[in-house]
């Protein structure tokens, strides 16, 4: 008797499989739309959009969108946690001295004073930890703007969640739309928040030089960059050289309006070349746009900045 499978017997039903996965995948892709927007913005920010569109990798594109939304949610959570103490004070003052009964309703703020004290202390402690971390990192104004963004948006989300009415759907939708609108409009007032957000997201997923790494480029490639830097006025330069395997490698950082801007890998799509350049920065004379270079992997080295003896 033959053990060969009967081609008429279907071991799986494609329609059932699709009907199972589509309801799961569709909302994930929809929720990842802000992540795709961040990725496109980043490519425009570094001047690499035409090249990115011509060599787009679908798996990287989808993965980045999902990861960006996850990272945004985590940072928003930290913003909510570190701003909760401030919201508690505002809510107390308004409910005590104001005439609006809506502030007497609270979904998040506990009713017991002892619990309120714990919530307040934990929230304020998170804020202190973030501030200390920014000081230790010698954070520039872009990093500060990024944290201020999540602190403010987080505070609005806390207020919205605390005052959501389970009986009034229309009111709840209006409350949720306020922090969403704040998140969209705030970058206009916090210059540098969105570029820093895009840079951090891309570096976390490994497609850009990480914040704690230094880029070293071969001497030949550095000479091309040096020739272009000589044409820029008011740009200070700090150069460090080291020999690795008989080859000269150079690490270069420039200073613009008091900010140290290192040469970094702006985009790494796992090919044999990487896009190298300086981050675009807004200065007193306008945006600093430096040409980017496509450099072979053999001409690039990335090391943790605290572990390199020569520099």
Least confidently predicted of 135-144, 145-154, 194-203: 135-144
Q: What Cα–Cα distance (Å) separates residue 80 from each residue in 38, 109, 126, 149?
A: 21, 13, 10, 11
Given pLDDT bands bounded at 50, 70 and 90, which one contains residue 32? low
Q: What is the pLDDT of residue 70?
A: 84
The average pLDDT across 15-23 equals 63
Residue 133: the pLDDT is 86
Residue 141 DSSP SS3: helix
163-190: pLDDT as tens digits: 777 676 666 677 777 777 777 777 767 7
Are the CB atoms for 199 and 208 separated by under 8 Å? yes
1-11, pLDDT tens digit by residue? 455 555 555 45
Cα–Cα distance, 123 to 113 (Å, whole number): 15
**100 vs 59 pLDDT, higher one:** 59
- Angle between helix axes 33-45 and 193-204 (nearest 10 degrees) is 100
pLDDT level of residue 83 (50, 70, 90 thresholds): very high
The whole model's pTM is what? 0.71
């Amino acid at each position: 008797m033959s053990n060969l499978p009967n081609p008429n017997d279907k071991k799986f039903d494609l329609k059932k499989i699709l009907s199972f996965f589509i309801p799961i995948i569709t909302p994930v892709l929809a929720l990842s739309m802000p992540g795709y927007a961040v990725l496109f913005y980043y490519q425009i920010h570094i001047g690499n959009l035409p090249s990115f569109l011509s060599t787009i990798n679908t798996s990287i594109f989808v993965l980045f969108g999902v990861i960006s939304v996850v990272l945004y949610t985590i940072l928003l959570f930290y913003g909510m946690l570190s701003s909760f103490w401030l919201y508690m004070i505002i809510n107390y003052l308004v409910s005590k001295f104001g005439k609006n009964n809506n502030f007497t309703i609270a979904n998040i703020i506990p009713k017991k004073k002892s619990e309120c004290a714990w919530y307040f202390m934990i929230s304020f402690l998170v804020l202190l930890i973030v501030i200390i971390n920014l000081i230790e990192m010698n954070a520039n104004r872009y990093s500060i703007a990024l944290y201020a963004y999540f602190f403010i948006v987080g505070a609005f989300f806390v207020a919205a969640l605390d005052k959501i009415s389970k009986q009034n759907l229309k009111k709840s939708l209006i409350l949720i739309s306020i922090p969403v609108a704040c998140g969209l409009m705030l970058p206009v007032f916090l210059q540098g928040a969105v570029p820093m957000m895009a840079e951090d997201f891309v570096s976390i997923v490994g497609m850009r030089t990480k914040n704690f790494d230094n880029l070293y480029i071969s001497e030949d490639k550095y000479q091309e960059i040096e020739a272009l830097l000589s044409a820029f006025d008011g740009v200070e330069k700090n150069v460090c050289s080291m020999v690795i395997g008989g080859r000269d490698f150079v690490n270069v950082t420039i200073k613009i309006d008091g900010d140290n801007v290192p040469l970094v890998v702006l985009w790494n799509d796992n090919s044999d070349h990487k896009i190298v350049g300086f981050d675009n920065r807004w200065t007193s004379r306008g945006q600093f746009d430096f040409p980017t270079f496509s450099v072979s992997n053999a001409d690039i080295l990335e090391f943790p900045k605290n572990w390199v003896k020569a520099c």
